[in-house]
Homo-oligomer: A and B are copies of this chain.
Amino acid sequence: MNNAKTRTKRIPKTTSQRLYLGSGRVGLARSEKLRTAQDVTGSSACGLDPEDWTESRVQAHRMLDDLFDHLEGLRDGPVWRPLPSAVRESFDAPLPIAPSELSAVHEDFLRNILPYGNGNLHPAFMGWVHGGGNLAGMLGEMLAGGLNANLGGRDHAPIEVERQILRWVRQIFGFPATATGLFLTGSSMANFMGLLVARHATLVESGPDAADCSLVAYASNAVHGCVPQAMELSGLGRAALRLIPVDEAGRIRLDILSSSIAADRAAGFRPFLIVGTAGTVDIGAVDDIDGLATLAERENLWFHVDGAFGALAILSPTLSPLLAGLERSDSLAFDFHKWGQVPYDAGFLLVRDGEAHQATFASPAAYLRREARGLAANSPWPCDFGIDLSRGFRALKTWFTLKTYGLAKLGDVIDNTCALARRLEARVRAEPSLELLAPVALNIVCFRHRGVDPDSLNARIVADLHESGIAAPSTTQIGGQLAIRAAIVNHRTAARDVDALVDEVLALGSRR
Of all chain B residues, the one with the shortest Cβ separation from A140 is: B145
Choice from B158, B192, B391 contacting A186 with Cβ under 8 Å: B391
A residues 416-440 in Cβ contact with B at 8 Å: 416, 419-420, 422-423, 426
With A121-B147, A164-B93, A345-B391 as contacts: A82 and B373 at CB distance below 8 Å: yes
Binds B, one of A122-130, A253-261, A501-509: A122-130
Query: CA–CA, A416 to B44, complex, Å?
Result: 10
B149 touching A118 by the CB < 8 A rule? Answer: yes
Best-surrounded residue of A135, A228, A327 (most CB of chain B within 10 A): A135
Q: Is A70 an interface residue (CB 8 A)?
A: yes
Binds B, one of A262-270, A299-307, A399-407: A399-407
What 0/1 readout, one digit per residue, does chain A (39-50) give for beta carbons within 8 Å of chain B? 011111011111
Query: CA–CA, A187 to B10, complex, Å?
Result: 27
B142 touching A67 by the CB < 8 A rule? Answer: yes
Choice from B50, B228, B320 contacting A135 with Cβ under 8 Å: B50
A371, chain B: closest CB distance, angstroms: 5
Q: Is A1 an interface residue (CB 8 A)?
A: yes
Choice from B405, B423, B464 contacting A99 with Cβ under 8 Å: B405
Q: Is A206 an interface residue (CB 8 A)?
A: no
With A145-B141, A404-B99, A409-B48 as contacts: A317 and B16 at CB distance below 8 Å: yes
B397 touching A113 by the CB < 8 A rule? Answer: no
Q: Is A146 an interface residue (CB 8 A)?
A: yes
A-B contact pairs, 26 of them (CB 8 A): A1-B328, A7-B171, A8-B320, A11-B317, A11-B407, A20-B409, A33-B415, A40-B495, A47-B413, A49-B71, A60-B135, A61-B61, A83-B155, A91-B157, A92-B164, A95-B171, A96-B403, A96-B407, A114-B147, A120-B148, A128-B150, A145-B343, A185-B390, A189-B388, A367-B474, A375-B474
Binds B, one of A172-180, A242-250, A271-279: A172-180
A15 touching B408 by the CB < 8 A rule? Answer: yes
A368, chain B: closest CB distance, angstroms: 8
Query: CA–CA, A335 to B152, complex, Å?
Result: 14
A408 touching B363 by the CB < 8 A rule? Answer: no
Taking A6-B171, A102-B139 as known contacts, 9 extra A-B pairs with beta carbons closer than 8 A to each other, sorted by chain A number, are A34-B419, A67-B142, A80-B374, A109-B396, A117-B158, A150-B337, A225-B368, A229-B361, A369-B475
B8 touching A174 by the CB < 8 A rule? Answer: yes
A167, chain B: closest CB distance, angstroms: 6
Q: Is A457 an interface residue (CB 8 A)?
A: no
A472 touching B4 by the CB < 8 A rule? Answer: no
Choice from B20, B44, B390 contacting A347 with Cβ under 8 Å: B390
Q: Is A204 an interface residue (CB 8 A)?
A: no
With A67-B142, A210-B237 as contacts: A365 and B50 at CB distance below 8 Å: no
Query: CA–CA, A119 to B318, complex, Å?
Result: 45
B388 touching A188 by the CB < 8 A rule? Answer: yes
Q: Is A470 an interface residue (CB 8 A)?
A: no
A337 touching B390 by the CB < 8 A rule? Answer: yes
Q: Is A23 an interface residue (CB 8 A)?
A: no
List of B residues within 8 angstroms of A70 by Cβ: 146
Choice from B147, B186, B232, B491 contacting A47 with Cβ under 8 Å: B491
Choice from B40, B156, B494 contacting A83 with Cβ under 8 Å: B156
A100 touching B403 by the CB < 8 A rule? Answer: yes
Of all chain B residues, the one with the shortest Cβ separation from A10 is: B171
List of B residues within 8 angstroms of A408 by Cβ: 14-15, 18, 97-99
Query: CA–CA, A257 to B236, complex, Å?
Result: 29
Q: Is A196 an interface residue (CB 8 A)?
A: yes
A306, chain B: closest CB distance, angstroms: 12
B136 touching A105 by the CB < 8 A rule? Answer: yes
List of B residues within 8 angstroms of A400 by Cβ: 102, 105, 109
Choice from B3, B43, B67, B327 contacting A143 with Cβ under 8 Å: B67
List of B residues within 8 angstroms of A130 by Cβ: 150
Query: CA–CA, A492 to B118, complex, Å?
Result: 36
Q: Is A161 an interface residue (CB 8 A)?
A: yes
Of all chain B residues, the one with the shortest Cβ separation from A101 is: B404
Q: Is A496 an interface residue (CB 8 A)?
A: yes
List of B residues within 8 angstroms of A132 by Cβ: 48, 148
A175, chain B: closest CB distance, angstroms: 6
A291, chain B: closest CB distance, angstroms: 16
Q: Is A356 an interface residue (CB 8 A)?
A: no
